[in-house]
Amino acid sequence: MKKLTVLSALVATPAFAASGPFFSLGNTDFIVTLSFLLFVGILLYAKVPGKLAGMLDARSVQIKKDLDEARALREEAKTILASYERKQKEVQDQADRIVASAKEEAMEAAKQAKADLKTSIARRLAAAEDRIASAEATAIREVREKAVTVAVAAAGEILAKQMTADAAAASIDDAIAQVEAKLH
């Protein structure tokens, strides 16, 4: 079956379809075939297939070089990314430590402020108590002084009512004698 297909393909070529002899310059199919063969010959003489293969090989080498460079750049980018991620983690850890330290310092400062406030309140309370005691002592002294003044005035009135001239002279003489005894 294959042989029959190949035979029918050879028999049905365009060269057999033309009228007249095939190998004449009047047959266009012969001229086209001859031109094609001449063109292929020139291409082979000019070594175009070798040049095309060389260009394709050079292009293949360049593509391979570009791929290798891209792989190297990708690996470098991965390394840099890992480095930045590590640095970011370190910075985040440091920031967490700073925040924790700041919280501890704030708690310490709050405790210290509470202690200072308690001390200040105790000091102010003691000062207020001292002022109250002083005011109380002053009030007691003033009351005593007032009581003494009132008592002296009352005693003076009572003595004035009860005192006679002879008793006053005797009292004066007695007072002079007491002063004289105390001075000597």
Could you tell me the two tokens for 38?
A: 């001449």
Q: What is the pLDDT of residue 75?
A: 96
Q: How far is it, in rounded angstroms, from Cα 165 to Cα 173?
A: 12
Buried b (16+ CB within 10 A) or exposed e, 94-121: eeeeeeeeeeeeeeeeeeeeeeeeeeee
Q: Count of domains in the chain?
A: 1
Does residue 99 lie in a domain region?
yes
Inside any domain, residue 132: yes
In a domain, 8, yes or no: no
What is the spatial distance between Cα 41 and Cα 179, in angstroms, rounded to a whole number? 166
CA neighbor of 22 nearest in space, from 10, 36, 34? 34
User: Rounded CA gap, 149 and 156, in Å?
Assistant: 10
Separation in Å, CA 178 to CA 45, 155, 159, 169, 184: 165, 20, 20, 14, 10
At 121, list the tokens: 């309140």
What residue ranges in 52-107 does DSSP mark as E strands? Answer: none
The DSSP letter of residue 22 is: T
Q: Is residue 168 part of a domain?
A: no
Write out the chain's pLDDT in tens, 184 residues: 555 554 554 544 554 555 667 777 778 888 999 999 999 999 999 999 999 999 999 999 999 999 999 999 999 999 999 999 999 999 999 999 999 999 999 999 999 999 999 999 999 999 999 999 898 989 898 888 888 888 888 877 877 777 777 777 788 888 888 888 888 7
The residue segments making up the domain with residue 99 are 18-159
The enclosing H or E element of 13 equals: none
What is the predicted pLDDT for the residue at 12?
A: 47
First to last CA, the chain: 175
Q: CA 102, 106, 111, 117: dihedral to nearest 10 degrees?
A: 150
Going from the C-alpha of 107 to that of each of 99, 103, 121, 130, the distances in angstroms are: 12, 6, 21, 34
Q: Residues 6 or more apart from 58 whose CB is under 8 A from it?
A: none
Is 147 inside a domain boundary? yes
Q: Does some domain include residue 70?
A: yes
Residue 4 lies in a domain: no
Q: Looking at the domain assignment, is residue 155 inside a domain? A: yes
Tokens of 7: 């035979």
